[in-house]
Chains A and B, each alone.
Chain A
Amino acid sequence: AQSVTQLDSHVSVSEGTPVLLRCNYSSSYSPSLFWYVQHPNKGLQLLLKYTSAATLVKGINGFEAEFKKSETSFHLTKPSAHMSDAAEYFCVVSGRSGGGADGLTFGKGTHLIIQP
């Protein structure tokens, strides 16, 4: 079975400083990994995804993530935080069982707070 652990429930950074949201996964097969963002009262939006191509993945709004198989990690980073980045971020692994063609498995989420 697949699982995802987001290591921080809340992260607070100052505007203009780097952002790091940590994620570790467990998968019985070669997974696809995603980061989704959810702004208050808005739907889930895909930030970026890894599907076994390049291990460094670039997404929207300046975010990127690096797939590290040896560490089973998929941390999300951004060089400089903006006030509009304040939201809930979900690390997600594909599938619940072997094959991964079914539903996504979500982490508990990290609430990102941007201090002015």
Chain B
Amino acid sequence: GAGVSQSPSNKVTEKGKDVELRCDPISGHTALYWYRQSLGQGLEFLIYFQGNSAPDKSGLPSDRFSAERTGGSVSTLTIQRTQQEDSAVYLCASSLRASKVETQYFGPGTRLLVL
């Protein structure tokens, strides 16, 4: 079946612009996660959704970052006023439900470059 998909696969933007990253989870998965992978910080958790609700937003690096999920499916991660330190690969994952025993399946990522 179809896995997690993300778009765009690559995004180059200028400092100060806003960007939107999209994630399509596996059909039927109620939990959705966003992570960031960068050379300096490794893989870090940003936010997760159970259904359309995000119980904990404390992993978001700053208030320029926001995420939403509608219809229990597609999610968008928005970065406002991008900075060069936002350059990274943004990964999305989904699982059947938010539980420590469930496997998270990862998408291919969006590579963001802020010039």
Q: A interface vs B, CB < 8 Å?
A: 31-32, 34, 36, 42-46, 49, 51-52, 90, 94-96, 99-109
Contacts and interface: CB of A to CB of B under 8 A. Distances in A.
A108 B42 contact: yes
B103 interface: yes
A96 B46 CA distance: 11
Contacts of B45: 96, 102-105
Interface string B84-99: 0000000101000011
B103 A46 contact: yes
B103 A90 contact: no
Contacts of B50: 101
A49 B103 contact: yes
A23 B73 CA distance: 34
A94 B100 contact: yes
B55 A43 contact: no
Given A100-B100, A108-B42, A44 B91 contact: yes
Identify the 6 closest CB pairs spanning chains A and B, nearest first.
Answer: A103-B45, A100-B100, A94-B100, A106-B43, A44-B106, A51-B101
